[in-house]
Amino acid sequence: MRFAFLAINLIIAALMPWRAAAFEIESRVFYPARDGLVTLKIISTADANVFEPIIRAFQQDYPNIHIEYVIASSTELMKAIYVEGAEFDLAISSAMDLQTKLANDGFAQTYASNATSALPEWAVWRDQIFAFTQEPAVMIISTTAFAGITPPQTREELISLLRDNPEMFDGRIGTYDVRISGAGYLFATQDSRNSDSYWRLTEVMGRLNARLYGGSGAMIRDVASGQLALAYNVVGSYASSRLAEFPSLRIVQFSDYVNVMLRTALIPHNAQNPDQAGQMIDFLAELNARPELAKQTSLPPIDAAQLRANSAARPIRLGPGLLVFLDRLKKENFLKNWVSSMEQE
């Protein structure tokens, strides 16, 4: 069995695009508990300054649980669990498709409680993946750059604006590098499903020498500093959390459609402290009862009524449909077309 398992891992490593080296972390923070008896190990794509209020509030309720919080990109999180078998008790990610693959391929434990049962059906998959936020993908603009210009409200209007003003936007558009960003790839594939205009927009951004990023934080900073006039497909919660710091930022939610990402948590198959992980999942599932945390973190909790009230909202649904663009040939073809559009001569 040991050799069979090793062989399977080697096959997986040969097939997965993130196989090359040990997974990379961005940072690691330890939160000691007042009466700590056990350490809950979390790997997450959310920055510590965003998630820390949740951790502190959780430890008020559970003063016996230390928390080790490891921050990694969504692709590195996937590599850690899927390829390397790194031991974490909870995996929190903005890349819904990669989380779905982890669960689909047997890398997640089943968990159920009163708190998870109260979530909407679309916020849970197989009692293994649990959504706890609903975060729109938005465009952010520099109000300085857009002085005297009406911001576009649809992608067709954005395409027209970019085409008509190349001197204004050349080298001053930011968006995800979908080759390295799991969230960026998720948003891009959903865009391609929702609208025929996506590939035309990508081609226009490519001709204008769009700058490519691995995460929302750097795009937000560069729009705020004036290096960029706009950034496309930024995670809305991150942008909202920086508005007070960067008053020159403005968030634009398009009226044609808005992709809504569900930030999710799962308990990896090899978690050493699944009971404590379940307690954190319950805490996250009930964030809508803690408006002070939503305000501190700018993470909007699950709210079915709010989504129904926004006719443009397109929640990205959990489930096997997310695996379509993770198929190796499908992904290679998508990335080939994306590179061809974005990196024009």
Give residue limits of the domains in the chain: 2-134+262-318, 136-260+329-342
pLDDT reported for residue 18: 42
pLDDT reported for residue 22: 85
Q: Which CATH superfamily is domain 2-134+262-318 in?
A: Periplasmic binding protein-like II (3.40.190.10)
344 pLDDT tier (thresholds 50, 70, 90): low
21 pLDDT tier (thresholds 50, 70, 90): low
| Contact status, residue 139 vs residue 232, Cβ threshold 8 Å | yes
> What are the tokens at 50?
């965003």
16 pLDDT tier (thresholds 50, 70, 90): very low
2-134+262-318 and 136-260+329-342: identical CATH topology: yes
> What are the tokens at 125?
């998959």
Helix ranges, 259-326 (H): 274-285, 291-297, 304-309
345 pLDDT tier (thresholds 50, 70, 90): low
How far are the Cα atoms of 39, 183, 218 from residue 65, in angstroms, in the given order?
Answer: 6, 30, 33
Domain formed by 136-260+329-342, architecture: 3-Layer(aba) Sandwich (3.40)
* In the predicted structure, residue 255 carries a pLDDT above the cut 50: yes
- pTM exceeds cut of 0.75: yes
Q: What does 111-151 look like in DSSP terms, one character per residue?
A: ---HHHHTS-GGGEETTTEEEEEEEEEEEEEETTTTTT-PP
pLDDT by residue (tens digit) across 312-323?
A: 999 999 999 999
pLDDT by residue (tens digit) across 63-90?
A: 999 999 999 988 899 999 999 999 999 9
